[in-house]
Amino acid sequence: MAKNFGTTFKNIRESKGVSLSSLSDDVVSKSMISKFENGISDLSTQRFFHLLKKINVTPYEFQMTMNHYELSDDSKTLSVLTKLVMAQDVSSLLRYSKRLNQKYLESRLVFDQLNWIMAEVLLANTQERKLDDSVDLKALTDYLFSCEDWGNYELILYGNTMFVLPLETIVIFSGNLFEKCSIFQGNTSLYETCLNILLNTIELLIKKEKYSQAKKFLNLIEMQNLSEAFLLERNFIKFYQGLIMLKTGTEETGRTLTEGALAVFEFAGCYTFADSLKKLM
């Protein structure tokens, strides 16, 4: 492992024209870096991340470089499932789900089981049918409850399966989302995923006529003080605020907010979003 990490680090360092001398300091010496690059010895996690910061490379960029830009097996699974669902390719999604199930039956690994469960949920959702009783959702919730920190995999796993979970479970998971992902604070991609999951939670609560709970999640998002760069998310927030007002008696303000949000989506050519929200009304 030291050789793989060290070789990759050396290639990146040299491509940036950074010398060993310029990296050495009171945290890591020139000799330590040289031995690391040549696979003679490893570095502590603290020293390794210290070096990455000094050459302006994120851990994610380093991993992608080390793996020659190849995604992990789980990332490949997520990518394939996303493409099949977007294409509404039921037959291919069915075959892929069977492959994932066979993989799990052979390996009995928890992540293979979770990937199959996610595929089955997406398949049922695409076919607009009830999830088969053979799918063990307890394995899914047990895993998500056991994870103190959520990364990209856990967020996508939850986001793709949340609609088949009990409402009280969704409220717990979504309510602790920012806390669960706090270890990855500063990761824009994860932050955007969190926001999208919270917006889906709000829509689900509105459908279930749980307006007071939906308001709490709207307040949770508003506490984030979203910048103007999050125009899409801010427009959804305005729509949901207006829709809750319409449903709870404040019709004039509610209609102004919902119609304004719909006008923005339609002006931007986001007709799928607009049509979906009209149905929600």
Tell me if 112 sits within 8 A of 101, measured CB to CB: no
Residue 204 and residue 248 in one domain: no
- Name which of 64, 46, 62, 60 is nearest 13 in CA terms: 62
Question: For the domain that residue 49 is a member of, what is the CATH number?
Answer: 1.10.260.40
b/e for 34-71, b at 16 or more Cβ within 10 A? ebbbeeeebbeeebbeebbebeebeeeebeeebeeeee
Report how many domains make up the chain.
Answer: 3
Tens digit of each residue's pLDDT (9 = 90 or more) over 166-200: 999 999 999 999 999 887 777 788 899 999 999 99
Is residue 170 within 8 Å of residue 204, measured between CB atoms?
yes
Q: Is there a single domain that holds both residue 178 and residue 101?
A: yes
- 79 with 201, same domain: the answer is yes
In the predicted structure, residue 26 carries a pLDDT above the cut 60:
yes
Dist. CA 227–CA 234, nearest whole Å = 9
The pLDDT value given to residue 16 = 86
Sign of the CA dihedral 263, 227, 220, 197?
A: positive
What residues contact residue 268 under an 8 Å CB cut-off, 6+ apart? Answer: none
Domain limit, last residue, from 197, 225, 253: 225
Average pLDDT of the residues in 21-31 = 93
36, 169: one domain:
no
Residues 205 and 236 in one domain: no
- What pLDDT, on a 0 to 100 scale, did the predictor assign at position 2? 47
**140 and 203 both lie in a single domain:** yes
Residues 86 and 141 placed together within one structural domain of the fold: yes
Same domain, 89 and 38: no
Question: What average pLDDT does this structure show over 229-238?
Answer: 95
Is pLDDT of 68 > 70? no
pLDDT in tens, 213-222: 999 999 999 9
pLDDT in tens, 51-60: 999 999 888 7
Picking from 120, 137, 130, the residue whose alpha carbon sits closest to that of residue 85 is 120
Q: Please tell me whether residues 57 and 26 are part of one structural domain.
A: yes
Indicate if 100 and 216 belong to the same structural domain: yes
Range of the domain at 31: 2-66
Q: Are 124 and 212 within one domain?
A: yes
Contacts of 214 (CB under 8 A, 6+ apart): 202, 205, 206, 240, 244
Q: Residues 104, 220: one domain?
A: yes
